Structure 1
Amino acid sequence: MICWMLLFVLTTTCVSAAATPASDLSILPTAVRHISVSSQEELEAAIKTARPGEHIILEDGEYGELIVTCSGRQGEPVIVRARNTLGAKVTKVEIQGHDAWVIGVDVINGGAAKLTGARGRISSSRFHTPGTAIQVTASATGSIVDHNEIASQATPQSEYWDGILMTQNTVNMHVFRNYLYGANAGKFNEAIVTSHTTSVRTQQTGNIIEYNLIENWHNTRAISTKSGGNIIRFNTCIDANEIVNRSGVNNHYIANWIEGDLRIHDEGQVIIGNKVIGGTIRVASGNQPPATPDYIPAKDTLVVGNDGILEVGFNFAASDIHPAVNTRIEAHKGQIKLGRHVGTTISEVTDMEVPTPIKLTPADVGPFAPTAPRSLVMAYAELQVGNILLPITAESAEYVVRLPFGLTAPPEIKAVSPEELRLSKLMDPAATVQIRQAAELPGEAVVEVADADGKLLHQAKIRLEKAPPAVDFLFDGTVATEAAPGALLHTVKDNIAIGLKVDGPDWMIRRVDLELVPIVMGDKVESERRTLYSGNQPVNAVLDVYAVEDGTYELHARLESIYGHVSERSATLLVDAWTELNDELEPPVETWFFGLMQRNKTVRESAGWQYATDQPEAFFGDSTRRVRSAAGPGPEFLIWEAAGLWEFELVVYTRDVQVEKAVELAVSAAASADDQSWQVLPYVCETAETSAAGWQKQMLRGRLPDAATSAAVKYFRFTISEGYAPGDIQLGRVILIHKGKK
């Protein structure tokens, strides 16, 4: 019976029709039963009663901890998967049962995953965590970790941060097509680790680590091996420190693309077809013999068909006195350097087959890669609608397909041939498909499926709609990129032009609003929200750093289309445009090594100045001041370099002195501080407090009249007019705020 009320909505996140053919692991086993859940309570109840071969489908939304205690059977795993990849958000994943898989979840709030059951799988999921993202214990034999996105959130205080950690006895793991990036802090950051201990160096763990992309991994190791019998192949490391065989025998490193180092210790390693750029292949000497492993010298290493600088007998530590032994080098491309070594042989040719490394991109890995796992459905037909694949099933007679906003005409809908099916299996391979195309966009198409005798099997409507506009920020004409998914951060050093890139023509846009709101201690200050732009065209606004203080802001864009769509986009702006010069007017100090060390920050000053360090209690604790000396009969001045000066604040101590007549402040745009062309600045003088000794603390504050004047300024001058006795006016502090490098 046809269910007319069931409505499937497909968007452009569906599998591309031009995707690479799937491997065996990219097709999920057919479910014996689907169980749909939409709450934490429903999820926990479904897990308690799940049987081998069942799929628990997580509808979009937020859940709590995902603890999989049920078990499947070999070939019939229990699968907990998001209906839409990354649409289901959980705080933690733990797979305790055997033959249990988790697919496509977004692990939020710094959560992580742990696999303890045999033949488990964590796939197509996303992690942003300050600790180890995915831990696989010794009991999780034969498990799979694939197509995950793992962003390091390690801090400088992090002792260890591992992306994927296999503990010391984990065997027969398959780790592939993962995207790991962004480890720039912490003491030990290792993207993929086979063990944290060298005690299993002779154990043949048989793990396969392949086709992973590790990017921006600056601290310690991209891939670290400490067990034996592993295969590390076709991985890409970009801006990463090194791949290292720390210990472990009989490992194979094959056709990896490494923009960093490949370091090899221990016995029997095979190094074939690797390309090393900007680093070195290091067949290392060692500081310990195998009986007490620490840095074991490389022995019986086969090095064939690699490309890059090769060093044999490289000393990793100063105590590496044991040489690399019996290194066999064949068909090497690049410079060969020999250090502490014994028995090295070199041949320009080889009879071995050398594979070619592949430089992977983010599109090749992670949750949305063409090879990511998916479930096949039984369908009457599979249709191609633009770049979207749409199975037509018996359960639905109405579909909604959301197409890119910028399309002005409906795409032609075609039936996919049986040989090219990606998402489905045909219920009746002999059936014929007739399609009545949509005449306009938005619009409606109709598909009819008939059997070999022409009998109607199924009819369905396909409603074609426009997706909401895709919106990106343009900063000075360049599309802003995310440091991590959902984390758009841009540092602002100067005025920037802000625009929006929209995937559609201007006439489809009804209204655009662009607002800026300060963020203080993680909270938005709504009372200070300001509008940067409001109109009916894509934004062309300027963020004027003269109008905002340094700090953190949320930039928020809201766009409404003529079709009623609303799209919103936010970015975090870190305004860091201003430099503060704080001169506490410290006197010279005598040092035992350098002698008399000057600490003044002025670039020029008149001769009639001295330092005052006496009676700090009379000057509100200020023990470092500048005063006129007796030798100065005329005006006395101090000059600071202050390119781009915008604001200033000075502390002056007086008794019975009219500051506005006694003190002149001025700026100069001249190339030299010796130039006599100065522009006098107005300022406001306020008495902050009066000490028991009668000294008044005067605050002198001001700002340049406009941005153009500020940009031209080179120097700032403080002058005490003639006619005032030494000590009448004492300068306590100078703060100059100007644009420029910190």
Structure 2
Amino acid sequence: MWQYVPAIILITVCLAFTPALATYAAYDPPCLCYYPSSARAVQVSSASELTAALAEAKPGDNIVIAGGTYPGNFLLANSGTPDEPIVVRAAEGEQVVFTGLFTLAGKYGVLEGCEFHNGRVVVKGDYNRVTRNYFHDFTSTAIYIQEGGSYNRIDHNEIANMNHDPDVLCQGIRVRVNEPADLRTKGNRIDHNYLHDFPDRGGNGHEAIAVANNTHYWPETYIEYNLIENAYADGETISIKSSGNYLIGNTFISSNYVQNRHGRNTLWKNNWFENVDLRIYGAGQQIIGNKLVNGRILLQAGTTTQDDFDARYMAGGGGGQPNQPRTENALVAGNDAGNGITVGHYENLPYPVINNILEGNYRGSVDQPAAVMLARQENTTIRQSTDVPFGTAVKLTKDEVGRFARDPYCKIRAYAEVVIGGSRFAISENRGDITLTLPFGTVQAPLIEVVPPEKMEWSEPLRPDVVVGVVPAAEVPDTAVIEVRDSSGQLVQSTKVNFSMAAPVVELLLAGRKSVSTSNVFLGEVPLEVAVAGDSAAAGALIRSVELVLRRLDIGVGKEPQDQLLYRGESLPQDLVIDTYTLDDGLYRLVGRVESIHGLAAEGMALFAIENWLELNDYLEPPTRGWFGIFDNTKTIARSAGWTYATDDPEAFCGDGNRLQRSDAKATAPEYLIWSAPQLHSFQVTLYAREVEIEKVIELAASQDQSRWEPLSYEKELVATSSAGWHQLVLKGQAGEVYDYFRLTLLGDEDGDGSESAAPVLLQLGQVDLKWRNKAGK
């Protein structure tokens, strides 16, 4: 069963460990963006010329491939040097298409600027670089590092439209780590790639990125600043099946879950997850400073332990089954945890997660603790704050990754650089269109500033003789154009800048504040404000529709939730109030949906509880005996002496095994019970009687001070009649919220015939329920 725990609570249970943070010492590959001036230019324009050039390649060679399609397989087995790599690249502005396999088997080789249409690259050597290539419609793994390939860099590639057979291994990028000991990869960097649109065609082994498969080997792969979206080809978008890796600054959008499948001490830091869950298995993983938008962190229960899985892996056979080691000794710190953190996900698995630390996790702002759900777990520590430096996750855009993006480690060659709204872009020879999504409410497109050549930061001037001009956009949405012309005025390059507007960011404020937890309690009339980010006047004019829907959450198993429409209109509501007295007490979710005139919609959500009423439920249980004596379980503040408990024969009383009756069946004096109920609103009494007509033998009354009692009228309901002849009756009514005490009295003439009764007891009390208005919310 799930247990929900607000993260502000400290839970410490028998912990005797503190995970050591991994030291991030990123491998810094040599800068291979510049081609040495002494390089020997080798021009090729056919497959046979390329094959020959590769076979004869020497350090410093710059093999320039003319546009065209190059079928077949190609191999660069020769090696360059750190200062003079062997560069194989497409000619500037030309489309070079490979349809087969290109293998880098030497050292210090660079493959740049080519297109692979159902083609692929295998890297077997060290210190190679695969950069600014375009892979699409591939049926086997696009980029495959294997056979000991180490310290390679895979960067700024676009990998799209996986077209796999369900039964064939086909991944975007794979680092193979299950080679023999002398052929294991190490220290590879995968950064600034754009992987997108991997459709679900069934099968397994179709991840966007995989580092697999050796649980006890530490390949120390650096997966950094990649953008992955719409990856549904495999249940796992990323699969880590090894130890000691680093996943930092990546962005995952609308894809299947990202998973640390097994292994030890992998660092997940400052990644952005949007509509994506992060699943963690194995030991000693560190999940720090990530942001999850509509996603969860799931610490998985397992089918085995990491120690057991390691031992079986060392014994041979790849570990075999079971192969889902539970999460243990993990550190989860400083995450903006979106839809919360589940500790012990998959409750049906035999091994609970154990000895994990959660600290300083939040939702939206650091003063709003993240929701934590404790499921199949042992020895979990939860702290509100953390001393771990967790940084900030930043959502990457398509302009920051892929073939045309700036390289943070070295410069590219470009006609110019422009600054748009504070962001810098390089206008290279094969630069694609730029798309900028501006905040909702932005009506004026930002200026496009052309940077003088001497102030270019990301790139070297490609041609000093060109002039760069801008045709500005008039409004949002609209398109500007950056034009590059030579000295004669001839158009050399044209780049569109498409300005679009983001969906509105919706905030729901209850009584002037955000409420993202059902621990926030509201009473009475609650002002509700719907706000959108940006200039309010401009934003209001851009809204097409607004809808507010309320749903009760705690309705019980098997019941269908019912949505209640609170508002629907063409503008933001004004002076809207939720009258919580018209709603039952419980847990609620309020969703506000706002759609813009451009057809973009977004939702805001508020979680809260309603507790308008306090209840006293007296089940009239008999006293219990404990270490400190006898404990009275009834909730009365006063009672007469002539009462006794009846616990016999529950079936005769509709299953009720705790009842109260007269001590002496022949007694004629009234017997009373009194409860405290401040400003009593309503009452309900359950009793059992031989006769249905009990009005002459029972009195219900209320008082402000217990000195003067006012009789209360009530409605009587016959609920059931047992086979033993006892009628279950319910008496219920309202008290007007002016009284503070409730009294139940059995009158002397219990059989109601006007005379003293010597018959057996004819009436027994089963339960008393009182309700009054709550005066203070949280």
**Normalized against structure 2, the TM-score is what?**
0.54
Q: Residue 466 of structure 1 corresponds to which residue in structure 2?
A: 501
CA deviation after TM superposition for structure 1 residue 87, in Å: 13
Change (3 A) 1:184 1:176: closer
Q: 1:94 aligns with which of 206, 210, 225?
A: 210
Contact 1:116–1:136 under 8 Å retained in 2: yes
Post-superposition CA distance 1:600-640 (Å, at most 9, x none)? 11123344433334444432343321224559756544233
Q: Residue 384 of structure 1 corresponds to which residue in structure 2?
A: 419
**% same residue:** 26
What is the CA–CA distance in structure 2 between the aligned matches of 1:618 and 1:68, rounded to whole Å?
Answer: 72
Change (3 A) 1:499 1:655: same
Change (3 A) 1:623 1:460: closer
CA deviation after TM superposition for structure 1 residue 693, in Å: 2.9
What is the CA–CA distance in structure 2 between the aligned matches of 1:721 and 1:381, rounded to whole Å?
Answer: 99
CA deviation after TM superposition for structure 1 residue 470, in Å: 1.4
Q: Residue 322 of structure 2 corresponds to which residue in structure 1?
A: none
Change (3 A) 1:221 1:117: closer
Change (3 A) 1:186 1:692: same
1:676 is aligned to 2:708 = yes
CA deviation after TM superposition for structure 1 residue 732, in Å: 0.8
1:494 is aligned to 2:523 = yes
CA deviation after TM superposition for structure 1 residue 696, in Å: 0.6
Contact 1:215–1:239 under 8 Å retained in 2: no
What is the CA–CA distance in structure 1 between the aligned matches of 2:199 and 2:531, rounded to whole Å?
Answer: 25
**Secondary structure of 2:621's match?**
coil
**Normalized against structure 1, the TM-score is what?**
0.56
What is the CA–CA distance in structure 1 between the aligned matches of 2:30 and 2:505, rounded to whole Å?
Answer: 29
Contact 1:28–1:374 under 8 Å retained in 2: no
What is the CA–CA distance in structure 2 between the aligned matches of 1:87 and 1:641, rounded to whole Å?
Answer: 65
Matches within 5 A, 1:657-672: 657-660=692-695, 662-665=697-700, 670=704
Q: Residue 172 of structure 1 corresponds to which residue in structure 2?
A: none
Q: Residue 164 of structure 1 corresponds to which residue in structure 2?
A: 285
What is the CA–CA distance in structure 1 between the aligned matches of 2:769 and 2:521, rounded to whole Å?
Answer: 22
CA deviation after TM superposition for structure 1 residue 436, in Å: 3.2
Q: Residue 315 of structure 2 corresponds to which residue in structure 1?
A: none
Change (3 A) 1:396 1:150: closer
Q: Partner letter of residue 494 of structure 1?
A: L
What is the CA–CA distance in structure 1 between the aligned matches of 2:430 and 2:739, rounded to whole Å?
Answer: 73
Q: Residue 75 of structure 2 corresponds to which residue in structure 1?
A: none
What is the CA–CA distance in structure 2 between the aligned matches of 1:471 and 1:715, rounded to whole Å?
Answer: 47
Q: Residue 141 of structure 2 corresponds to which residue in structure 1?
A: 47
1:699 is aligned to 2:730 = yes
1:124 is aligned to 2:250 = yes
Q: 1:724 aligns with which of 738, 741, 750?
A: 750
CA deviation after TM superposition for structure 1 residue 731, in Å: 0.9
1:438 is aligned to 2:469 = no
Contact 2:228–2:253 under 8 Å retained in 1: no
Change (3 A) 1:466 1:123: closer
Change (3 A) 1:405 1:590: closer
Contact 1:132–1:164 under 8 Å retained in 2: no
Contact 2:212–2:239 under 8 Å retained in 1: no
Contact 1:655–1:695 under 8 Å retained in 2: yes
- Long gaps (5+) in structure 1: 1-21, 166-174, 198-208, 225-235, 241-257, 262-275, 277-358, 482-487
1:533 is aligned to 2:567 = yes
Q: Residue 560 of structure 1 corresponds to which residue in structure 2?
A: 595
What is the CA–CA distance in structure 2 between the aligned matches of 1:115 and 1:598, rounded to whole Å?
Answer: 59
Q: Residue 271 of structure 2 corresponds to which residue in structure 1?
A: 148
Q: Residue 404 of structure 1 corresponds to which residue in structure 2?
A: 439
Q: Which has the larger radius of gyration?
A: 2
Q: 2:661 aligns with which of 614, 621, 627?
A: 627
1:449 is aligned to 2:484 = yes
CA deviation after TM superposition for structure 1 residue 27, in Å: 11
CA deviation after TM superposition for structure 1 residue 449, in Å: 1.8
Change (3 A) 1:522 1:438: farther
Q: Residue 685 of structure 2 corresponds to which residue in structure 1?
A: 650
CA deviation after TM superposition for structure 1 residue 666, in Å: 5.1
- Long gaps (5+) in structure 2: 1-25, 34-110, 119-134, 146-151, 178-184, 201-205, 214-218, 312-329, 344-353, 360-365, 371-382, 407-411, 752-756
Q: Residue 353 of structure 1 corresponds to which residue in structure 2?
A: none
Q: Residue 321 of structure 1 corresponds to which residue in structure 2?
A: none
What is the CA–CA distance in structure 2 between the aligned matches of 1:644 and 1:127, rounded to whole Å?
Answer: 54
What is the CA–CA distance in structure 1 between the aligned matches of 2:493 and 2:610, rounded to whole Å?
Answer: 59
**Secondary structure of 1:47's match?**
coil
Q: Residue 503 of structure 1 corresponds to which residue in structure 2?
A: 533
Q: Partner letter of residue 271 of structure 2?
A: N
Q: Which moved more, 1:471-480 or 1:636-645?
A: 636-645
CA deviation after TM superposition for structure 1 residue 697, in Å: 0.9
What is the CA–CA distance in structure 1 between the aligned matches of 2:260 and 2:32, rounded to whole Å?
Answer: 21
Contact 2:682–2:771 under 8 Å retained in 1: yes
- The count of corresponding residues between Structure 1 and Structure 2 is 542
**Secondary structure of 2:581's match?**
helix
Q: Residue 318 of structure 1 corresponds to which residue in structure 2?
A: none
Change (3 A) 1:599 1:567: closer
Q: Residue 685 of structure 1 corresponds to which residue in structure 2?
A: 716
CA deviation after TM superposition for structure 1 residue 365, in Å: 4.0
